[in-house]
Amino acid sequence: EGIMSSAITLPKPAPIGSWADAVDSETNAREKTITECRIDPLTGKKVVVTQILKIITERIPKTIAERRKWKKFGKCINAGNKPEPGVTMMGEEVELEFVRTALGEQKHDDDGDAIKNIDKGQVTARCHNCKTSGHWSKDCPFKNVSDEKFDDVRPSTKGSLAGGKYIPPQRNLERMGIGERRSDEFTVRVTNLPEDYTNLDDVLRNMFSSVGKIDRFFLAKDKNTNLNKGFAFITYSNKHDAEKAITKFNKFPFESLIINVEFANMGLLTLLRKYKKKEKDMRILLLGLDNSGKTTVMKKFLGEDTDTISPTLGFGIETAQYKGLTLNFWDVGGQKSLRPYWKGYFNDADGIIWVVDSSDVDRLNDCDSELKQLLKEDHLSHSSLVVLANKSDLPSSLSADEISKHLKLDQLTTHKCKTFSTSAKTGKNLLEAIDWLCNDICSRIYVGN
């Protein structure tokens, strides 16, 4: 059998070309070229001007497309379908951040309930004059009456329920705008009182209540002999009454003595509160420049691992039991950006541990200026101070005496202070420093205990 065969010729493939040519052809499909001839007004010659316009195809919602067909009016009656910067402007984008609880649930303020009440017509007006509800301030029938008439018109001092939550009495008053926190600014200190005067507290109460209402009264007495210690603290309801007491009774003759009356210092009030309560807990601040070893000092004292320590970007709180005392350590970050926020931790501080990197000689001047600024704070005026010349295990470190001399601690008169050469890595002198600090605080506060 014979087999017939024929040659099949395949078509020649088109050249692929380069990828750059493909991009150019795609770009040319989205462009429009306009060429026109003009007469240059400066030279009078004919010039050819070529404009290449990029064609953009945009998909928009159907509602927007319908809106663009609306008939325009006013100044835009002859405007085409183009942006109108003088008429239509885009506002600023506002980002909403929803506050959530620790479980990830969204928090809702009480204002949401108030908005619902507006829709229901259940909003209760509260008058700023008589502090009662039911009418607006402008319609108050007592708006021409002096404020003294409203002393007996007070809201309930009991706790209340709002939105299923219990509101304490003081918080309830503050929300109504009439509650006022007791302020230490209204406290005066009376000194140079006779020690053996009987019924001195009754006499002082009668004297100082003549200028205003007394909120708190404290006369210091010896625990064993019950004799007066020669000083007292009196807190008034407002600053005006406190100033009147100072004006009237300062340098006032009492028995054979001349008593002194002045505004009390914030640090003394902290001491007074602890003296009365006989507290056994101490609030200790760990402060210093960044990278001085504050967190390592605290961890070492607590017996925790110190191999992996990261910078404190805020604050950390640790509690330890030491010789029957509860020590609350507040480790506050020392970065320059965080130092302005230190003062938020000064209230009721009993002691300060100022940690210095004794090997960082270049920043000792910065350390000195920060410490001086710190000791000027009224809230720390009676806090005990211990300075740790930390990182003493390094060869380039300075001694405790050298650090004390550089910081001029021998010239310090406002605080009782002592410097220790310590190493947070080895634990050198840490217990000795904490022990000295606790003993000094106890000697000031726990008198007779």
The binding site for GTP consists of 288-295, 334, 390-393
User: Is 190 within 8 Å of 183 (Cβ atoms)?
Assistant: no
Classify 222 as helix, strand or coil.
coil
Task: Name the helix (H) or strand (E) containing 219.
Answer: strand 214-221
Could you count the other beta carbons within 10 Å of the beta carbon of residue 285?
24
Q: Which of 321, 335, 373, 411 is catalytic?
A: 335
Owner of token pair 């191999």: 307
CB 36 within 8 A of CB 49: yes
**Closest listed residue to residue 366, CA positions, set 284, 286, 290, 285:** 290
* Binding-site entries for Mg(2+): 295, 312
Binding residues, by number, are 288-295, 312, 334, 390-393
Asked whether the beta carbons of 298 and 331 are under 8 A apart, the reply is yes
Consecutive H or E run containing 439: helix 430-445
* Active-site residue, 106 included: no
Helix 200-208 vs helix 239-249: crossing angle, to nearest 10: 110
Q: What CA–CA distance (Å, rounded) separates 190 from 251?
A: 10
- Token pair 């990261």 in the structure block, residue: 310
Q: What is the DSSP letter of 80?
A: -
Q: Which of 249, 331, 224, 328 is nearest to 288 (CA)?
A: 331
Tell which residue, 63, 187, 172, has the closest CA to residue 126.
Answer: 172
| Ranges assigned E (strand) in 333-448 | 351-357, 384-390, 417-421
* Length of the chain (residues): 449
Region of 397 please: left (phi>0), alpha (psi -120 to 50) or beta: beta
Nearest to 353 by CA among 422, 271, 445: 422
Structure tokens at 423: 């190493």
| Active-site amino acid positions | 335
